[in-house]
Amino acid sequence: MRKIRDVLRYRHSARLSLEVTARALSLSKGVVAKYLKLATAAGISWPIPDDLDDRELERLLLRQAPYKEPTYAEPDHAHTHQELKKKGVTLLLLWEEYQQATGERAYQYTAFSIHYRDWVAKLKLSMRQVHRAGEKLFADYAGPTVPVIEAATGEVTHASIFVAVLGASSYTFACATPAQTQTDWLTGLGRAMRFIGGVTTMIVPDNPRSLVKQANPYEPELNRATAEFAQHYGTVILPARPRRPQDKAKVEAGVQVVERWILARLRHHRFFSIAEVDAAVARLLPDLNSRAFKKLPGSRKQAFDQLDQPHLRALPATPYVMADWKRARVNIDYHVEFEQHYYSVPYVLVRKEVELRITRATLEMFAGGKRVASHARSAHKGHYSTRPEHMPAAHLAHSGWTPAKLLTWATKIGPATATLVERLLLEKQHPEQAYRAGLGLMRLARENGSPRMEAACARATILGSHRYASVSSILKKGLDQQPLPAKQAELLLPPHANVRGPQYYQPTEID
C-alpha cells in the first residue's frame, strides 16, 4: 500500500501530473489513475490519517470497488480445441461463429487467439497438440508387464501390453501379446485397426528393431514385413524419432491411462495364459473409453464418434497375413530348399537368386519383385513339391544336365555306382529331382576317390538305400573299407544286368 500513499502525496501535496507521478513511481498512468479513483470512491484524501495502517487502507479501497459485469463474453475454449481437430476447421472460422453468437460482447480475433493459446498452454502436452480427425494412430508398449503362470510347471512368464491411441479423440485400444517381436507389433496394429473399424492416414509407432531396419531421425527405413503391412492397409508408417517422446506424446499419455485404469485393477489377478490376460484387458476397455475427460467435453468414445470415426478409411477385404522373407538360390534341379523340403520354380531361374515369402500356410517365390511360384508349405523333409509348368520340355534339365549325362559319369566310377544312380533316377517322380543328389555323389567321389565311392555304393545298394545321405554316411564312418558279409555279397546281383545304360536316356525322334 506504500505506493498508494505515494500516489496520493505526489498528486495532492506536490500537485504532480499523472504522467510525472507514474514516471516517478515506475507505474503506468493507468495504474495511477486507478489508485486515485479507488481513493475517491472510498472517501480517502490527503493526508491519510495516522491511525490508518496499510491493511485497513487496503480493505477500504477494495471494499469500495463495485462488481462490474465483464465487458467481453469468454469463449468456450474446450469446444474450440475439439472443433479444430476436424478437417477444414480453422481458428478464424471458429472466431467468426463465436462473434455471430455473442454480438458486441465478442473479443476481436487477436484477443480471441491469445486467450485460446493461454488456455491451451495449461493442458498436458499430449492434449495440447492438435491432431486432425482420422489422421494418426499412435502405438507403443506399456512398461509394466503382466505375470502369466504355466499351470503344468509353475513357471512364470510375462505378457506385454500393446497400446494404440487415436490422435484426435484419444480413443484407446490395448491387448496382450507374448512379447514385443515383429509379429507381436504387426498383430497389435492389425487388431487396433479392426477395433476402431477403419484405417488412419498414418501410423506413428515407437522405433523398435522389430519394425525398423535402420533407425534415422529423418529417413527411417522399415523392414520388409513392416513395409508390406503398410502397403496392405494403404497407410503410412512413420516411426517416432529416436529419443523424441514428444513425437508420440499422445500414446505416452495413453499408456499411463492404461496402466492406471486397467493394469492397476488387474494387479491382484492370477493369469494362466496370454489369452486370459487379453480377455481381461478387453473387458476393461469400454469403461476406460467412456470415462469423461477432465478438461475437455465428453469422453474418448464420444470424441471418437464425432471426430475420428467419420474420417477413417475402409479396412481391406482380408486381414494382413504375417510373412517372413529370406533369400535362396535355385539349384540345377530348379528347386529351392526351405526347411529341408524342396519347392519348384520355373526352370529358367536355375542358379539365380529368388526371395521367399513365408507364411504359416504358403511359400511364395519372387524374382525381380514379381511372384514366379507359390506352394503350400510342407513339413515332409527330403520330399519335393513340383509343379508341371515349372519343368522344361521332356524333363530335360537346364544347362546340359540329363539323366544320360549323370549315368555316364556313374558308369565310369563303377557298376555299383551306376546301379545306385539308376535306381535313384527311377525312384524319383521326375529325373531332375535326382540331380541335386547326383552333384553330391560327384563331390563325394572327388573327395574320397573312385574305389571308395564304388565300395560305398555297393554297400548302400545291398541295404536298399539309394540316397546321397546313405553313401555319405558310409564313407564318413569308413564302412566302405570293411568287407561285405558273404550272404549279403551273394545278394549283390551283377550290376550290368540291371542297368539300362546311358543310351536308354538319350532322346529319340518321334515320327
CA-CA distance, 380 to 2, in Å (whole number)?
A: 97
pLDDT digits 0-9 by tens, 167-218: 888 899 999 999 999 989 999 999 999 999 999 988 988 878 888 876 665 5
For residue 470, the one-letter residue type is: S
CA-CA distance, 365 to 127, in Å (whole number)?
A: 47
- CA-to-CA separations, 23 to 5, 17, 30, 510, in angstroms, rounded: 16, 10, 12, 119
Query: Residue 116's closest CA among 89, 87, 80, 70?
Result: 80
Place of cell 495449461: 122
Crossing angle (nearest 10°) for helices 91-102 and 109-121? 110
Whether the model clears a pTM of 0.75, i.e. scores above it, the answer is: no
Buried/exposed 158-179: b ≥16 CB within 10 Å, e otherwise: ebbbbbbbbbbbbbbbbbbbee
Query: Residue 158's closest CA among 282, 274, 284?
Result: 274
As given in the structure block, the three cell numbers for residue 496 are 550290368
Place of cell 531361374: 349
Place of cell 523398435: 208
Q: Mean pLDDT of residues grouped by 10 in the chain (511 residues)?
A: 72 75 78 80 74 71 57 80 74 82 82 82 59 85 91 90 90 94 92 94 85 70 86 88 63 85 88 94 93 82 89 90 89 88 90 91 91 91 84 54 81 91 78 74 91 91 86 90 66 47 46 31
Per-residue H/E/C for 382-401: CCEECCHHHCCHHHCCHHHC
SS3 state of residue 106: coil
pLDDT digits 0-9 by tens, 259-312: 888 998 888 899 999 999 999 999 999 999 998 887 677 888 998 998 888 989
Contacts of 293 (CB under 8 A, 6+ apart): 299, 300, 303
CA-CA distance, 313 to 329, in Å (whole number)?
A: 40
Quick one: pLDDT at residue 371? Answer: 92
Quick one: pLDDT at residue 390? Answer: 84
- Domain residue limits, the chain: 2-63, 77-121, 136-311, 324-391, 399-505
The 10 Å Cβ neighbour count of residue 224 is: 15
Tell me which CATH homologous superfamily contains domain 136-311: Ribonuclease H-like superfamily/Ribonuclease H (3.30.420.10)
CA-CA distance, 366 to 345, in Å (whole number)?
A: 10
Contacts of 471 (CB under 8 A, 6+ apart): 420, 441, 444, 453, 456, 457, 460
For residue 471, the one-letter residue type is: V
- CA-to-CA separations, 86 to 129, 251, 307, 309, 490, in angstroms, rounded: 13, 20, 6, 11, 91
